[in-house]
Amino acid sequence: MLSLIISTLVFFAAAWFINRWLDEQDIGKGMTRGALVFTLATLVSFISSAMVDWADTKIEGPQPASLASGDVTQILKALNPPPALP
């Protein structure tokens, strides 16, 4: 959850800084520039999310695997065991 929040904040900050840098370079505003800003800000956001996940793993250690296998039949069997014999 922390990586989602931080990567969202980083996305908007990166988009603002990239737009500002492109304004200084006198690059006209248009669809290509918007796509470039979006792509670069997304890349920076993904990298920041990966860094947060890496730091979280280093601090807390590896997390155990999920106990849910994802197999629907096994989940249903666990939730509804067969009735006991009389």
Q: Tell me, what's the pLDDT at 31?
A: 94
Instruction: Write out pLDDT tens, residues 13-67.
Output: 999 999 999 999 988 889 999 999 999 999 999 999 999 989 988 887 776 666 5
Task: Give the dihedral sign, CA 40/45/46/52.
Answer: positive
Burial code (b: 16+ CB inside 10 Å, e: under 16) for 25-41 equals eeeeeeeeeeeebeebb
Q: Are 32 and 22 in contact (CB under 8 A)?
A: no
Helix (H, G, I), strand (E, B) or coil at 6: helix
What is the C-alpha to C-alpha distance for residues 69 and 6, in angstroms, rounded to an integer? 30
